[in-house]
Amino acid sequence: MIFGLLLFQAVVSVPAAPRPPLPPPTDLERLSIVVADTVTQTDPQRLCDQAGCRTLYLGKYANAVVLAGPPLEPAFAARVEMGSPFDRSYRIAMIVEHRDGAEPLVRSMAGFGDRTHEACFDWRDTDSFDWQVSGPRIIKRRRVICVAE
């Protein structure tokens, strides 16, 4: 019994190998900050055959408003890394990269806070590139980019 518990603890405490981040965008002029409603998430595509490899889903969005960068249609689709599908519609902010010959790629997403009414992107998603973005609803706090609702 004790051996079984020790084995269980050893298996449970082994940390998963961290996944490498996506490579930084090659052209910062191809990035947009967008606020949109989530619709669906389908069509998972693994980026490689190894264990722990990223899977990108085809996210569909509606009522999009572009705050900075190249335009997107009000209803658009983009590849996004997600752990679980949308269980309802959310209003979110996203950094979207426009790519030649492929769907746009969501580089980062953030939900709006109930008290602050701001969506702040994780600095680890944007720290690998020095993006000097600005706009009426865009707020920069040191290394963090936020969007006002």
How many domains, the chain? 1
**pLDDT tens-digit series, residues 2-17:** 544 444 444 444 444 4
What is the extent of the structural domain holding 31? Answer: 2-148
* pLDDT mean across residues, the chain: 84
Measured from the Cβ of residue 71, the count of other Cβ atoms closer than 10 Å reads: 11
What are the C-alpha distances in Å from 37 to residues 8, 25, 74, 92, 124?
42, 24, 10, 6, 24
Higher pLDDT, 115 or 3: 115
pTM over 0.85, yes/no:
no
Question: Contact, 123 vs 65, CB < 8 A?
Answer: no
pLDDT of residue 1: 53
pLDDT of residue 43: 87
| Phi, psi for residue 18 in degrees, rounded to 5 | -65, 145
pLDDT of residue 20: 54
pLDDT of residue 12: 44
